[in-house]
Structure 1
C-alpha cells in the first residue's frame, strides 16, 4: 500500500471519528451514523489495500 493511500485512509477514518463524536455530543444521530459509516468505509479500503499488497508480495 502506498504511503499516500495509508494517509488518505487514516485521514478519512479520523474525520469519521470526529463526526461520530460531534454527533454523540450534540445528540445528532444522523451525524453520528455518518461518522461511523466513514470509518467503516476507510477500514474496508485499508483491508482491500492489504489484500493487494499480499498478492504483490509486499
Structure 2
C-alpha cells in the first residue's frame, strides 16, 4: 500500500513539473500555476509517506 502511494506522489510530481515546463514554454501563466500546484500536491503526499515510514520503525 505505501509503495502505491509513493508511486502516486512521484507521478504527481512528474506531471506537475511537465505541466509547469510546458506552461512556461508557451507563456501560459495558468498552466504554469496548475503545474506548480500539482507538483506541490505530489511533494506533500511524498512527505506524508516519508513521515509514516519514520513512525513505522
> Normalising to structure 2: TM-score of the pair?
0.89
> Which residue of 2 is the match for residue 17 of structure 1?
17
**How many matched pairs?**
57
The unaligned stretches of length 5 or more in structure 2 are none
> Normalising to structure 1: TM-score of the pair?
0.88
> Which residue of 1 is the match for residue 26 of structure 2?
26
Please give the residue correspondences for 1:1-58 in structure 2 after superposition, counting only pairs within 5 Å.
Answer: 2-57=2-57
Question: Where does structure 1 differ by over 4 angstroms across 4 or more consecutive aligned residues?
Answer: none
